[in-house]
Amino acid sequence: MAKDGKKPDRRAGERTKTQKSAKKRAKVALEVEAASDGPGGYGTDDRPDVALVVDVAYFAVDRGALVVLLVERGREPDPGRWAVPGAVLEPDEALTDAATRAVVARAGILEPFTRVEQLAVFDAPDRDPRTRVVSTAVLAVTSTPVPPAGGALASGRWWRVDTIGTDGGPTLAFDHLDIVEAGVERLRSRLEQTDVATALVEEPFTLGDLRRAYEAAWGIELEPANFRRKVLATPGFVAQTAGKRIVGTGRPADLYVRGAGAVLHPPIPRPR
């Protein structure tokens, strides 16, 4: 049963451009792996065949709406369509560093963003028509969705997520609609379990600000009274600071900053 450690040179005929037709092939290839490193290992001696990139689903809340940073593609494939910022992973680079690099190139943000979280790996063999590209999508947020500066950055734009795919909204390239949708869903989930909402508002913030961030991301309205109680009942979520803020009309609101805790006990449940 065990092979002798040799394997057929699968790069014999030089890599052809694309092999969409080979999708089903791997499903029946259930023979024992001819591991070149013996039990428990795998051969990593030769050059890899698969390119690994990082794509960033970068979100913010802007005037009551959830927005995502997209970049317009200038050339084939998919010219005129919009993509999330991406970068090829460098040999000694961590995913979060590559993610920062991708966003810096598109959004003019000069400091690395703090909260980054892995989203999912997008691995469909034909997701990029040029060659095999596996993408690790990561989720990131900012409190200040600044419009990208000019020059090479001008192609980036913040789009309301609820306009994607509609008449006035962007059309996404490749499988990036899947990436954005996964990011939206993960962000909505993380708002329940973590204090990521405090990264969506600028300090200091009122509990009304925080509530409106939740409402924008979840697309629903929340009871101000109950929301307030839940936030204050969760230790480490927010900390009150000095002063009050008067917006327009209405009673001045207490000001808060981010608390120490990252996970929320108890969570802020999302209405179903």
Partner DNA sequence: CCAAAAGTGTTGTGCGTACACCCATGG
Partner DNA sequence: CCATGGGTGTACGCACAACACTTTTGG
Q: Which does 169 bind (CB under 5 to 8 A by kind): its own copies, DNA, none?
A: none
Q: Which does 181 bind (CB under 5 to 8 A by kind): DNA, its own copies, none?
A: none
Site string for DNA, 195-224 (x = CB under 7 A): -----------xxx--------------xx
Q: Which does 260 bind (CB under 5 to 8 A by kind): its own copies, DNA, none?
A: none
Q: Is 253 in the site for DNA (CB under 7 A)?
A: yes
Number of residues counted as binding DNA (CB under 7 A)? 23
Beta bridge partners of residue 189, listed in sequence order? none
CB of 217 vs its own copies, minimal distance in Å: 20
Q: Is 104 in the site for DNA (CB under 7 A)?
A: no
Q: Is 49 in the site for DNA (CB under 7 A)?
A: no
By beta-carbon proximity to DNA, the closer residue of 84 and 191 is 191
User: What sign has the CA pseudo-torsion 150, 55, 59, 197?
Assistant: negative
Q: Which does 249 bind (CB under 5 to 8 A by kind): DNA, its own copies, none?
A: DNA
Applying CB under 7 A, which residues contact DNA? 206-208, 223-226, 228-230, 244, 246-254, 266, 269, 271
